[in-house]
Chain A
Amino acid sequence: MKKEDLFEAIGNIDDQLLMASEQKLRSFRLKHVLIPITLAGCAAALIFAFAVIKPKDKPVIQVDPSLDAEEPLSTFEMSFGAGGMGFEGYSVKSIEDFKGVDWLTEDLEIETVPVYQNIEFLHEGISTVLNPDLDRMKAIIDDLAQRLNVDYEELVAREDNDIIYAYEVSDSKISIEVNSLMEAEINFKEELVLPENIHNGYDDSYEEIAAYGEYCMDEFSYLWDEELKLVVSGGDYNIYDEQSFDAGAQNDKMKVSFCGSDTGDTIWLMRIFYLMEYEKIGDYPIIDLEEATSLLLEGQFVSSAPDPELTEENIYGVSFEYRSSIYDQTIMPYYVFYMEIDSETQAEDDYLHISRYYVPAIPKEYISNWQTWMGQFN
Chain B
Amino acid sequence: MFLAKITRNLAFDKYRRSKAEKRGAHEISLVLDELSECIGESSTEKEIHQRQLNEAMNHFVKQLPLRERSVFIRRYFFAESIEEIAAKYELKKNHVYVLLSRSREKLKAYLQKEGYL
Binding site for B on A (CB under 8 A): 1-15, 17-21, 23-25, 27-29, 31, 177, 185, 187, 202, 238, 262-263
Residues of B within 8 A of A6 (CB): 35, 38-39, 53, 57
**With the chains together, A13 CA to B57 CA distance in Å?**
7
Interchain CB contact under 8 A, B53 and A9: yes
Interchain CB contact under 8 A, A7 and B62: no
Closest Cβ of chain A: how far from B78's Cβ, in Å? 8
Interchain CB contact under 8 A, A21 and B16: no
Closest Cβ of chain A: how far from B11's Cβ, in Å? 10
Interchain CB contact under 8 A, B32 and A17: no
Residues of B within 8 A of A238 (CB): 66
**With the chains together, A12 CA to B2 CA distance in Å?**
11
**With the chains together, A27 CA to B90 CA distance in Å?**
10
Interchain CB contact under 8 A, B67 and A262: yes
Known: A9-B50, A11-B9, A21-B70. A3 touches B32 (CB 8 A): yes
Interchain CB contact under 8 A, B39 and A18: no
Interchain CB contact under 8 A, B90 and A28: yes
Binding site for A on B (CB under 8 A): 1-2, 4-5, 8-9, 12, 16, 28, 31-33, 35-36, 38-39, 45-46, 48, 50, 53-54, 56-58, 61-62, 65-70, 73-74, 76-78, 88-92, 95, 116-117
Interchain CB contact under 8 A, A11 and B69: no
Interface of chain B, main secondary structure: helix
**With the chains together, A25 CA to B69 CA distance in Å?**
11
**With the chains together, A21 CA to B88 CA distance in Å?**
10
Number of A-B pairs whose CB atoms are under 8 Å?
A: 105
Interchain CB contact under 8 A, A3 and B35: yes
- What are 28 A-B pairs at a CB distance below 8 A? A1-B39, A1-B46, A1-B116, A1-B117, A3-B33, A3-B35, A6-B57, A7-B12, A8-B50, A9-B50, A9-B54, A10-B77, A11-B12, A13-B57, A17-B61, A17-B73, A18-B73, A20-B66, A20-B69, A24-B89, A27-B67, A28-B90, A177-B92, A185-B92, A202-B66, A238-B66, A262-B65, A262-B67
**With the chains together, A27 CA to B67 CA distance in Å?**
9
**With the chains together, A12 CA to B12 CA distance in Å?**
13
Interchain CB contact under 8 A, A1 and B68: no
Closest Cβ of chain B: how far from A173's Cβ, in Å? 15
Apart from A11-B8, A24-B88, A185-B92, 18 more pairs, CB < 8 Å: A1-B116, A2-B45, A5-B48, A7-B28, A9-B50, A10-B61, A10-B77, A11-B9, A12-B54, A12-B58, A17-B73, A18-B73, A19-B1, A25-B66, A27-B67, A187-B95, A238-B66, A263-B65
Which chain A residue shows the least CB distance to B66? Answer: A202
**With the chains together, A14 CA to B61 CA distance in Å?**
9
Residues of B within 8 A of A15 (CB): 1-2
Interchain CB contact under 8 A, B50 and A20: no
Interchain CB contact under 8 A, A11 and B50: no
Interchain CB contact under 8 A, A10 and B76: yes
